[in-house]
Structure formats: C-alpha cells, structure tokens
Structure 1
Amino acid sequence: MDGELFPRTRREVAPGAVHMPDWLDAGLGRELLEACRLWALPPAGLRTVRTPGGGTMTSRQVCLGWHWYPYRYARTAVDGDGTPVKPFPAWLDELGRRAVTDALGADAVSSAYDIALINFYGADARMGMHRDGDERSDAPVVSLSLGDTCVFRFGNAGSRARPYVDVELRSGDLFVFGGESRSAYHGVPRVYAGTAPPELGLSGRLNITLRVSGFPPDPKPWVSDR
C-alpha cells in the first residue's frame, strides 16, 4: 500500500517462520490467480471439505499432486468426484524453492515440492488452529496470499492456545515456516472482505500452500500417524 506510516518489511515471527510482504509482484500474482481458476474447474476441482465429525470447513479447497482430506492423502479426489488429482507443475516447485531461499536461505530446502493445497476464503470463511502434520517431510511450508487481506494467527507447537502472534497477510505476501516452527499451530480467524487489489479482479482470498510430501511414489492412500 502506498503511503504506509510504517513500511512493511521482512519479519521473523518465530524461529524459522518468516513473513515477507509483497513478495509476489503484480504480474506473477495475476498468473498464479489464472492458474488457480483453471485448477478449480472439474474434474477434481474446488470442493467443500468435510471433517470426520460431520462438519464442513468454511473455506473451499482444491489440491495438486496429492489430494488431502482429513487427515490423509490420496491420488484421487476421494471426498469429491473421485477423479485423479491434478498434477503438480514443475514451475510451482521452482516457485516454492525460491520462496524458501528468499525467506530462510539456500540451505533450508533440498527436496522437491510436490503438494499444493489451494484454499478459497469468502467473506465469512475462517480456518481453525491446526498443524500441517500429514506429510512425511519436515521441509518448510510455503504460503502465498492473493486477494483479500486476512489475519493469520501463528502459534506454538504445543497447543492451540497462546502464545500466538497475529500477522496481517495481504495480497502478494509470502509466509514460510520451517525448522522448529514447522509443527506450529496456525489459523485464519478473520478475512477483511473487499480489501483485494481492484486490478487483481478477485473477490475473496486465495491461499496457495506448497508442501513436500516425503511420500514414496505409490498410488496408495497415505495415512498420517497423528
């Protein structure tokens, strides 16, 4: 945003957890948005995620590479239309590695990114405190934001309770968490509707999360040991 009283700069929120404002330039942001719109189309498109207790997540999701559903991975959209998950493109791996290098340094990741979880938040969508613990790899998680601004709550690895830090994530922001923060609880308690850059042409918020699975190249479902 122009005319900031306090310019937004790189911030280490916790050891291994880094917020980099405006990391995506406008051109790359538009390209990523157009790709997300294509990925959201059927088959294996955008869906509502249902929890084991019978509830539903208020954000909607589409997956690339491996299909996530609580709390496991599969090669097909088993809780959707049952079709094969869309492939994970090589350019997203390159983007993820560049993000980690910029945030944490060149030695922070050595494995290829092969999972994308793309969540769409409408004005009333939220995400409860949770950990990204269904992968076999402890490589850093890469989170990219497009569209509306949100409050991103980044906590601790011990519980969903305090201490936690609330970070404002705007369109184009990067958040990376690895190392001792890889297992930290985090969530989205609020989205600020109507705050997306008008030139982006997006109503709502997209969060593109990149992960390294650590799974063998096997089509069988992967169940975590959480």
Structure 2
Amino acid sequence: MDDLFAGSLPAAEPLGDGAVLLRGRAGADAGALLAAIEAIAAVAPFRQFTTPGGREMSVAMTNAGVAGWVSDRAGYRYQGEDPLTGRPWPAMPAPFAALAREAAAEAGFAGFAPDVCLINRYRPGTKLSLHQDRDEADLGHPIVSVSLGLPATFQFGGLARTDPVRKVPLVHGDIVVWGGPARLAYHGILTLKAGEHPATGPLRYNLTFRRSG
C-alpha cells in the first residue's frame, strides 16, 4: 500500500475546510528524507522534552531550520540554539523544504516557505495528545505534516477541544496539510501499535513543517 501512489500525483482528500490529505505523496522521497533525519540526529540528537507542568513527553524529538521548537518548565517556544548542545539547530535539508513547498501548493497554500521542521520519533506505545499548533508568530501559514514508517491513527478535530474528532489512518509517505480556517484545529496521534516497517523498523517518524516567524 505504501507504494501505491509512487510516481503519480495523488488527489487531495479533504479532511475539512482548509485541511487535506495527500495519500502517498512523500513515498518517492522517503529514502532521502530518512537519510536527512539520520544526519540531523547525528548533530542534534533525539530527546524527550518536558512539558511546563513537568511531565516528560513520550515522543522523542529534534529540529532543523532557523529555530527549533522546545518545551521545558519555562513553556513552549522556538529558539535558535539546541538546549542539549548549545549549538544552532541543523539547517533545513533541501529535500525537506522542497517537499513541504510542493505539498502545500498542491493543498491550496501556494507560496509556503517553511523555516523550521519539527521531527518526532514514535516508538510503539507512544502517542501525541490532542493539541493546537499555536506557538508561531503568524498563523496565516499552513502546517505540513509528513508520515514515515509505521502506520498511525491521526486525530483531527475542530477549533475547540470538545469538538468531534475524526480518526484518519496514515501510512508511510502520507502528507496532511492544514491551514486557513483549520489552522488551529486540534490534532494528535493515538497510541502507536507495535510493528516492523521495511524503511524504519519498529519506528514512525513525523516531519512537521512550519513558518515560525
């Protein structure tokens, strides 16, 4: 199923007003994307951030671009230096930026120029609770989210935490884009099930592209 759309341009599958799913869109680029993740992690290792409330996140994370998203007792924010190494985050790889621009345009958001990429690493048993992406200075830019590796169930809701939530199966190479009226939609990932993927083994990676400034 992962290679079903390889070599073709998938149609946008609507998830709501301002949100679309591009099935298999990143499949042909997966090798280059995974190699770039490995290179980034060699400089800025994956780590589990702590929430402002003191809880350790189950998903491990690193970043690339002009800044990185971080979380600790001081709150959620972007900062230019990796708190683990004290050095700037690795630059955004060219394949990352190109894919994000193209996917955004195909979803109806032409001109998107991401300057940061949040990289999440999921192991079986980890999840991402419902939340909004609202730490960016300008919410007029969309979010582009790329799935690699093990399949997962994406939760996509409305502008209030209590709104109905749609459960969307995601597989290797799928891209979800949301912006405009859906930009602050609540979303998350249900607990990842155990499995083995030819490209990533027992892991799932998620690339989330944003415009931080």
TM-score band w.r.t. shorter chain: 0.7 to 0.9
Q: Shift of residue 39 of structure 1?
A: 0.8
Q: Does 1:63 align with 2:63?
A: yes
Q: Residue type matched to 2:107 in 1?
A: A
Amino acid at match of 2:86: G
CA–CA distance in 2 between the matches of 1:166 and 1:41? 34
Alignment match, 2:79: 74
Counterpart AA for 1:164: V
- Looking at structure 1, the residues matched to 147 and 55 of structure 2 have their Cα atoms a distance apart, in angstroms, of 25
Map residues 184-223 of structure 1 onto 2, 5 A cutoff: 184-194=185-195, 196=197, 198=198, 200-214=199-213
Amino acid at match of 1:85: W
Q: CA RMSD in A?
A: 1.9
Q: Structure 2 vs 1, CA of residues 91 and 147 (structure 1 numbering), >3 Å: closer, same or farther?
A: closer
Match of 2:135 in 1: 134
8 Å Cα contact 1:130-1:185 kept in structure 2: yes
Per the TM alignment, residue 111 of structure 1 is displaced from its structure 2 partner at its CA by 4.4
| Structure 1 length-normalised TM | 0.83
Counterpart position of 1:84: 88
The one-letter amino acid paired with 1:161 is: T
Contact 2:30 2:173 (C-alpha < 8 Å) held by counterparts = yes
Q: Is the CA contact 2:68–2:89 (under 8 Å) kept in the aligned structure 1? A: yes
Cα separation, 2, equivalents of 1:136 and 1:201: 33
Q: AA paired with 1:206?
A: Y
Deviations 1:72-102 (A, max 9, x none): 1111112x23222111234422211100111
> Taking every aligned residue pair, what percent have the same amino acid on both sides?
36
Is the 8 Å Cα contact of residues 61 and 118 (structure 1) preserved in structure 2? Answer: yes
Q: CA deviation at 1:9?
A: 6.2
Corresponding letter in the other structure for 1:72: R
Counterpart of 1:143 in structure 2 is: 145
> Unaligned regions of 5+ residues in structure 2, if any?
5-9
Contact map agreement 1:149 1:195 (CA 8 A) in 2: no
SS state of the match for residue 58, structure 1? coil
**Residue of structure 1 in register with 2:51 after alignment:** 51
Unmatched runs of 5 consecutive residues or more in structure 1: 215-226
Alpha-carbon separation, structure 2, partners of 1:115 and 1:193: 29
Distance of aligned partners of 1:136 and 1:75 in 2 relative to their CA distance in 1, 3 Å threshold: same
SS at match of 1:57: coil
Contact map agreement 1:51 1:57 (CA 8 A) in 2: yes
Where do 4+ consecutive residues of structure 1 move more than 3 Å?
none
What CA deviation, in whole Å up to 9, does each residue of 1:196-219 have, x standing for no partner? 3x2x243210000101122xxxxx
1:110 is displaced (CA, Å) by: 2.5
Which residue in the other structure is 1:171 paired with? 172
Q: Report how many residues are paired.
A: 201
Q: Which residue of 1 aligns with 2:163?
A: 162
Take 2:32 and 2:64, find their aligned partners in 1: how far apart are those partners? 17
